[in-house]
Structure 1
Amino acid sequence: MRDSALLFAVRRKAASNLATRTTLRRAFAGAAILALVPAAAARAADISHADISHADAAQDAEPAGRPVMPVTSLEVTFGVYALGSKGFELVLSARRDADSLRIDTKMHTAGMLDWVMRFAMTGQAVARLDGDAVRPLRYAANSDGGWTKYATRMSWDADGQPIINMLQPPVEDDDREPVPEALTIGTSDPTSATIARALRGGATPACSGTDAIFDGRRRYDMHYTPLGPDWVKPNNRSAYSGPAFKCEVAIEPIAGYTREYLAERRPEEETPTTVWLAQPPGTDIWIPVQLEGGFRLGSASGWISAAKINGTDWLKPLGLIRPEMPDRDRMLP
């Protein structure tokens, strides 16, 4: 009976107004989709991990001189949890050939969040491979949040300048100012930019520097900071445990955000998202295996739940995961 009251309280709080629903959805999506549409307000959570030194990491790394397997296809499934429940599931599929890259994404709500506020998103990014550089060519995203539906289509000209082919709803009907063209020069879509870092390879991931992002509506910078080798502990929500590299990703809003978001934003509450990346044996790519972030109603955590490389399981899919209930004393009025 009390569990039913708890669920009702969560639903009532989350559905009380559009701003709260949007905040919750952004928090889940931000943790789940670091590789796609990062949250504008993510807070890193401190987690106790087994200590691992640079020497330990070197022992777990691939022996020097071992041939590196070229990765032509990748499929990763991620689960994101908050308030004791699974909130989102994300599936990212990438295919690469000699000179091009295509990334397809699917994300949908799950568990209690699906009951509170159903949301689904699909996306596709196509890029040209130019040596070590990933040049975006096309980007599309569609989302359906029940109350609002969004669609974006973008392309890039020969000079690398983004062109908006379609926005639904238009910016003028979306409670936001358009991003000035001068701010979009030299930008990439969020998917291509993050995948480019994953494909960069090397003994450590590309966890430093800044990416300038434009998703058709918003312009923001993603700032990466390396935190060093770490260890992902076994977890029944994760298909991976073992050595990893810990990074910090901070989002800096630049332009194109809704007036509602700008009115509610509290920059002093915003802290970076923490991501752990692992390098599958025999490859030179780095894949996110754990994420930690936060939002006004609590914290969100994400874990990889399955992964295929070149059509073969690297991490086999998890079985049934027992849900955890939020802290009753904190959630009940």
Structure 2
Amino acid sequence: MTLRLPALALLALLPAAARAQEATQLSYAIYAAGLNVLVVDSKAEFGPRDYRIDLAYRTTGLYGTFIPVRIDSFAQGSWNGARPAPQRFASWGVARGKERRITLDYPGGQPVIRTLVPATEPDRDPVPPAQQRDTMDTLSAMAFLVRQVAQTGRCDGTVRIFDGRRVLETQSVTAGSESLSEDYRSAFKGTALRCDMRGRQLAGFQHDADEAEIRRVHVSHAWLAPLVPGQPALPVRVSFETRFFGSATAYLTQFGPTQAVR
């Protein structure tokens, strides 16, 4: 199952201090064609030096009955100025009846594939090492967006993402503040900063895919707002494209503190 945007990477940052930290638990429901097709749970912590993101998503409802998917993932790293410096990314689970596992480490700041299941498909172009350089994982890319908004009030920036199979480039620009009205699918209403993102695949193309489709620019939008006064803005809504069910929107459904022990 392929999502066109690292939209499930919905947060955050983690202090390195070896003590109990108050984390934020967030849940999202993703709707497509009026149906709830995915649920997402994330744990997020913010810190000045290090970060970690834990995220799980699964298909649900009728869609989940026919196409069962359950993926867990995490990313951890430190901050190099304003940009993330990933240390490890891991993702594992089952999608469409097949085991999926990816582990990336970043010795010297560059990605190294430790685990890749299934192995690189023969019908997919391998990503040359030169195109893997200076990339980050999907979760770190969204952490970068959240940090940009927290530090500058804007979401302008460009990142290159390597997920073990493909390289994507995503550019985010500030679109301004918008008022999100009450919606039965969402726990949030109010003013949020809208970030418009344009993503395109640069490497790791499948031979049997529609070339025009995989090379075109995909547009998505994220709305961020503080959930607690004085705290950084977090994603409260994300609209994006998927390969299997077209346009989709993730709505924040629950949020609150959870205790993470380090």
TM-score bin, normalised by smaller chain: 0.7 to 0.9
Contact 2:68/2:97, CA 8 A, preserved across alignment: no
Q: CA deviation at 1:141?
A: 0.8
Kindly provide the amino acid, as one letter, of the partner of residue 37 in structure 2: G
- The verdict on how the C-alpha distance between 1:31 and 1:89 changes in structure 2, with shifts beyond 3 A counting, is farther
- The verdict on how the C-alpha distance between 1:256 and 1:170 changes in structure 2, with shifts beyond 3 A counting, is same
Is 1:73 the equivalent of 2:20? no
Deviation string, structure 1 residues 244-303 (Cα, Å, up to 9, x no partner): 0111111110001322335472656x5401221112343352211112234575532221
- The verdict on how the C-alpha distance between 1:305 and 1:174 changes in structure 2, with shifts beyond 3 A counting, is farther
- The verdict on how the C-alpha distance between 1:131 and 1:292 changes in structure 2, with shifts beyond 3 A counting, is closer
* Selected match of 1:170 from 119, 143, 146: 119
Contact 1:72/1:97, CA 8 A, preserved across alignment: no
Aligned pair count reads 248
- Structure having the higher helix fraction is 1
Q: For 1:1-333, what aligned pairs fall within 5 Å after superposition?
A: 25-26=1-2, 30=5, 32-33=7-8, 35=10, 73-97=23-47, 99-158=49-108, 160-171=109-120, 173=121, 175-200=123-148, 201-202=150-151, 204-205=153-154, 207-263=155-211, 265=213, 270-294=217-241, 298-309=246-257
Q: CA deviation at 1:74?
A: 2.1
Contact 1:142/1:152, CA 8 A, preserved across alignment: yes
How far apart, in 1, do the equivalents of 2:232 and 2:65 lie?
36
Contact 1:126/1:136, CA 8 A, preserved across alignment: yes
Contact 2:5/2:241, CA 8 A, preserved across alignment: no
Kindly provide the amino acid, as one letter, of the partner of residue 93 in structure 1: K
How far apart, in 2, do the equivalents of 1:33 and 1:254 lie?
20
- The verdict on how the C-alpha distance between 1:136 and 1:196 changes in structure 2, with shifts beyond 3 A counting, is same
Q: CA deviation at 1:213?
A: 0.8
Kindly provide the amino acid, as one letter, of the partner of residue 184 in structure 1: Q
Contact 2:200/2:218, CA 8 A, preserved across alignment: no
- The verdict on how the C-alpha distance between 1:283 and 1:309 changes in structure 2, with shifts beyond 3 A counting, is farther
Q: CA deviation at 1:306?
A: 1.0
2:18 equivalent in structure 1:
none
What RMSD, in angstroms, separates the aligned Cα atoms of the two structures?
2.5
- The verdict on how the C-alpha distance between 1:186 and 1:203 changes in structure 2, with shifts beyond 3 A counting, is closer
Q: CA deviation at 1:180?
A: 0.5
- The verdict on how the C-alpha distance between 1:31 and 1:135 changes in structure 2, with shifts beyond 3 A counting, is closer
Q: TM-score if structure 1 supplies the norm length?
A: 0.67
- The verdict on how the C-alpha distance between 1:277 and 1:117 changes in structure 2, with shifts beyond 3 A counting, is same
How far apart, in 2, do the equivalents of 1:163 and 1:236 lie?
43
Q: Unpaired segments of 5 or more residues in structure 1?
A: 1-24, 37-70, 312-333
Secondary structure of residue in 1 paired with 2:2: helix
Q: Percent identity?
A: 24
How far apart, in 2, do the equivalents of 1:203 and 1:97 lie?
16
Q: CA deviation at 1:305?
A: 0.5
- Structure having the higher strand fraction is 2
- Structure 1 or 2, whichever has the larger Rg, is 1
- The verdict on how the C-alpha distance between 1:287 and 1:304 changes in structure 2, with shifts beyond 3 A counting, is same
